[in-house]
Amino acid sequence: MVSQDWMEKDFYAILGVPKDVDDKTLKKTYRKLAREWHPDAKPGDKAAEQKFKEIGEAYAVLSDPEQRQQYDAVRAMGGGARFTAGAGGPGGGGFEDVFAQMFGGGAGGQNVHFSTGGGQSINIEDLLGAFGGGQGGFTGQGFPGGQGFPGGAQGFPGGGGFPGGGRGQARRGMPQGEDVEARTSISFRAAAAGETVTLSKPDGGTITTRIPAGVKDGQKIRLRGKGMPSPYEGGEPGDMYLHVTVTKDPVFGRDGNNLTVDLPVTFAEAALGATVEVPTLDGSTVKVRVAPGTPSGRTLRVKGRGIKTKKATGDLLAKVQVQVPSELSDKGREAVEVLRAEESGDPRAELLRRARA
C-alpha cells in the first residue's frame, strides 16, 4: 500500500538529497536521475525500470508542499509504527487489516488507532485529518473494487487517490515530462511580421508553432506543454524553449521597436532642402521633408512605421547621410568654388578651442 511505503521508504535517500533540500535543487536532482535511469537509456534493465519508478514516486511526493509536509509528519512518528484495532474491532496490527475494515465496512472501523510504539496512540480519524479533511481525506480511485475513503484525495498525486487512479486527468504532483530546447533562424522581415515554423523534438516528433510578430534576435520563447511527455500516466508534458536567431537585413536595422535606415541625400538636397522617398518594411515608400541646411547624421522620424507587436508599434528612423560627389564637372566645380568663397569662418574652430582647453 502507498501509505505503508511512506513509512518504509526514505524518499530523501532515494533522491540523494537532504531533508531541507530547496525546490530548485530537488527539481534539478530529479531531472538528472530521471535521465540516468530512464528505461530508454537502459533498455531491458528491470532494475533500472524499478529505480526509475522509485525516483518518480519520491519526487511526486517531495515536490508537492502539502504531500511533503504530510510525509515528513508520518515519518516523524517513527519506524516502529503500526496500526492496531481498538476495543470492539477485529484483531491484527497490519495496514492490510485497517484498510480491510475501511473498504469492507467492519464494525470496528471507527475505533482503529495508530500506535508509534512509544506509548502514543492516534485515532485513525485524527490521522486522516492530517491529510486534508478528516474521514474525507482520500478517494476510492486506485484501490481494488473502487472502494476507499469518501471525499477528496487531498495530499496525493492527482487529486485522484494513489498513483494509478484518476485516469483521464493530469494529476496534481505527478512529475512532468522533461523540458527540451530547440533553435531556429528566421529572416529580419519574417521576425517583424511573425513566422510559422516546424520544429523537431528529441523523440523524433515534430511540432508546428507560430513565432509572434516582433521577435528579437536571441530571444527565448517558452512553448508550454510542447516538451517531452511525462513518464507517468496523467502527468503533464514538459515545455519547449525555443531560441530564435534573426538574420541581418541589408536595408533595415532595429532599435527596440523602431526600424532604422540610412537615408542618402545629395549635397544640394541637404543644403537647399528637398522632399525625398524613404523605403518601408512592407516594400512601399513614404515621403519625408529634408529641411534646408540638414547636416549628415540627423535623424528624421516617421511615426508608426516601425515594428508592430501586441503591446506597441515603433517608428521608422531615417538617418541622413549626405553624399559628397567624388567627381565634378567644370561647371559644378565652379559652383562649389563660388560657395567656398562665400563661406565665412572655420567650422573646426570650436573643436580646436575645446581640445586646447
Spans of all domains in the chain: 2-159, 180-246, 253-350
Return contacts of 215-223, CB within 8 angstroms, 24+ apart. Answer: 215/186, 215/191, 215/244, 215/246, 216/191, 216/244, 216/246, 216/254, 217/191, 217/244, 217/245, 217/246, 218/243, 218/244, 218/245, 218/246, 219/243, 219/244, 220/244
Superfamily of domain 253-350: Urease metallochaperone UreE, N-terminal domain (2.60.260.20)
Residue 172: pLDDT band with limits 50, 70, 90: low
Please report the pLDDT score of residue 169 as a whole number. Answer: 39
Report in angstroms the alpha-carbon separations of 252 from 8, 104, 183, 193, 318. Answer: 66, 76, 24, 14, 10
CB atoms under 10 Å from CB of 357, counted, come to 5
Structurally, what CATH architecture does the domain formed by 180-246 represent?
A: Sandwich (2.60)
3-state SS track over 99-132: HHHHHHCCCCHHHCEEECCCCCEEEHHHHHHCCC
| Spatial contact of 208 and 188, defined as CB atoms under 8 Å apart | no
Residue 66: pLDDT band with limits 50, 70, 90: confident
Residue ranges of alpha helices (H) inside the chain are 2-8, 11-15, 23-37, 46-62, 65-76, 95-104, 124-129, 188-193, 267-272, 330-342, 349-356
113 beta partners? 84, 123
Please report the pLDDT score of residue 240 as a whole number. Answer: 92
Question: DSSP labels for 286-325?
Answer: EEEEE-TTPPTT-EEEETT-S-B-SS-B--EEEEEEEEPP
| Residue with cell string 541646411 | 293
What amino acid is encoded at 252 in this protein?
F
| Spatial contact of 245 and 185, defined as CB atoms under 8 Å apart | yes
Tell me whether the CATH fold assigned to 2-159 matches the one assigned to 253-350: no
Please report the pLDDT score of residue 147 as a whole number. Answer: 38
163 pLDDT higher than 50: no
Q: What number does CATH give the domain 2-159?
A: 1.10.287.110
105 vs 237: which has the higher pLDDT: 237
Name the most confidently modeled range: 83-87, 160-164, 262-266. Answer: 262-266
